[in-house]
Amino acid sequence: MANAVHPNSGFCSKTMTFHSLRPPVPLPPESAPVSLTDFIFSLLNSSPPSPTAAAIIDADTRRRVLYPELIFRLENLASSLRAQFGLSKGDCALVFSPNNIYTPILYLSLFSLGVVISPINPAAMVPEIQHQILLSKPVIAFASSNSAHKLPLLKHGIVNIDSVEFESLMENQRGKKERAGIKVKQSDVATILYSSGTTGPVKGVALTHRNWTANIAGGMRPVRTIQTVGYCTVPLFHAYGMALSLRLMASGECLVITGGNRRFDMRKMYSVIEEYRVSQLALAPPLVVTMAGDAEVMDGYDLSSLEVVICGGAHLSKSTIERLKNRLPKVQLAQSYGLTETTGRVFATLGPDETRTEGATGKLMANCEAKVVDPETGAALPPMKPGELWVRGDLVMKGYVDDEEATAAVLGREGWLRTGDLCYINNQGYLFFVDRIKELIKYKGYQVAPAELEHLLNGHPDVVEAAVVPYPDEEAGQVPVAFVVRQPGSNIVGSEIKDFVAKQVSHYKRIRRVIFIDSLPRNASGKVLRKELVIKLSTPTSKL
pLDDT tens by residue, 235-262: 999 999 999 999 999 999 999 998 755 6
DSSP structural state of residue 34 = -
Give me the DSSP letters along 251-263. Answer: TT-EEEE--SSS-
The pLDDT of residue 543 is 38
The pLDDT of residue 2 is 53
The pLDDT of residue 239 is 92
What sign results for the dihedral spanned by CA atoms 39, 45, 47, 49?
A: positive
Q: What is the mean pLDDT of residues 359-369?
A: 93
| CA–CA distance, 240 with 243 (Å, rounded to integer) | 5
What are the φ and ψ backbone dihedral angles of 526, each rounded to 5 degrees?
100, 0
HSE (side-chain half, CA atoms, 13 Å) at 164? 0
The pLDDT of residue 525 is 41
3-state per-residue secondary structure call for 369-380: EEEEECCCCCCE
Burial level of 492, CB count in 10 A (0-12/13-18/19+)? middle
What are the φ and ψ backbone dihedral angles of 58, each rounded to 5 degrees?
-90, 110
Higher-confidence residue of 422 and 384: namely 384
Contact 288, 324 (CB under 8 A): yes
The pLDDT of residue 529 is 80
The pLDDT of residue 496 is 95
Partners of 92 in the β-ladder: 116
At 536, the pLDDT band (50, 70, 90 cuts) reads confident
Residue 267 has pLDDT above 70, yes or no: yes
At 542, the pLDDT band (50, 70, 90 cuts) reads very low
Residue 200 has pLDDT above 50, yes or no: yes
N- to C-terminal Cα distance for the chain? 53
Contact 219, 245 (CB under 8 A): no
The pLDDT of residue 195 is 85
What are the φ and ψ backbone dihedral angles of 79, each rounded to 5 degrees?
-65, -40
| CA–CA distance, 115 with 184 (Å, rounded to integer) | 9
Percent of the chain with pLDDT over 70: 94
Which one, of 544, 536, 428, lies nearest residue 478 by Cα?
A: 544
Residue 1 has pLDDT above 70, yes or no: no
At 486, the pLDDT band (50, 70, 90 cuts) reads very high
DSSP structural state of residue 380 = B
Taking residue 82's Cβ as centre, other Cβ atoms within 10 Å add up to 21
Higher-confidence residue of 200 and 356: namely 356
Burial level of 455, CB count in 10 A (0-12/13-18/19+)? middle
The pLDDT of residue 544 is 39
Burial level of 188, CB count in 10 A (0-12/13-18/19+)? buried
Would you call 400 helix, strand, or coil by DSSP? strand
At 102, the pLDDT band (50, 70, 90 cuts) reads very high
| CA–CA distance, 369 with 346 (Å, rounded to integer) | 9
Q: What is the pLDDT of residues 26-46, one digit of tens each?
A: 999 999 999 999 999 999 999
The pLDDT of residue 527 is 62
The pLDDT of residue 451 is 76
Amino acid occupying residue 442: K
At 408, the pLDDT band (50, 70, 90 cuts) reads very high
| CA–CA distance, 74 with 473 (Å, rounded to integer) | 42
| CA–CA distance, 544 with 528 (Å, rounded to integer) | 22
Mean residue pLDDT of the chain comes to 90
Least reliable range by pLDDT among 24-33, 77-86, 330-339, 348-357? 348-357
Contact 383, 5 (CB under 8 A): no
DSSP structural state of residue 4 = G
At 358, the pLDDT band (50, 70, 90 cuts) reads confident
The pLDDT of residue 524 is 42
What sign results for the dihedral spanned by CA atoms 167, 168, 173, 177?
A: negative
Altogether, the residues listed in the chain come to a count of 544
3-state per-residue secondary structure call for 144-163: CCCCHHHCCCCCCCEEECCC
Partners of 516 in the β-ladder: 484
Contact 197, 203 (CB under 8 A): yes
Q: What is the pLDDT of residues 438-461, one digit of tens each?
A: 677 888 888 787 878 888 898 899
Q: What is the mean pLDDT of residues 116-125?
A: 93
| CA–CA distance, 215 with 218 (Å, rounded to integer) | 5
Least reliable range by pLDDT among 372-381, 418-427, 453-462? 453-462
Q: What is the mean pLDDT of residues 288-308?
A: 87
The pLDDT of residue 114 is 97
Query: Measured between alpha carbons, how far is residue 494 from residues 340, 476, 511, 541 in Å?
Result: 33, 21, 10, 17
Would you call 217 helix, strand, or coil by DSSP? helix
Report which secondary-structure segment, H or E, holds 283: strand 280-283
| CA–CA distance, 258 with 231 (Å, rounded to integer) | 8
What pairing do the DSSP bridges indicate for beta strands 399-400 and 64-66? unpaired
| CA–CA distance, 212 with 107 (Å, rounded to integer) | 12
The pLDDT of residue 199 is 54
Q: Could you give all domains of the chain from N- to C-terminal order, each with its CATH number?
A: 441-542 (3.30.300.30)
DSSP structural state of residue 394 = T
| CA–CA distance, 451 with 468 (Å, rounded to integer) | 8
Q: What is the mean pLDDT of residues 312-331?
A: 82
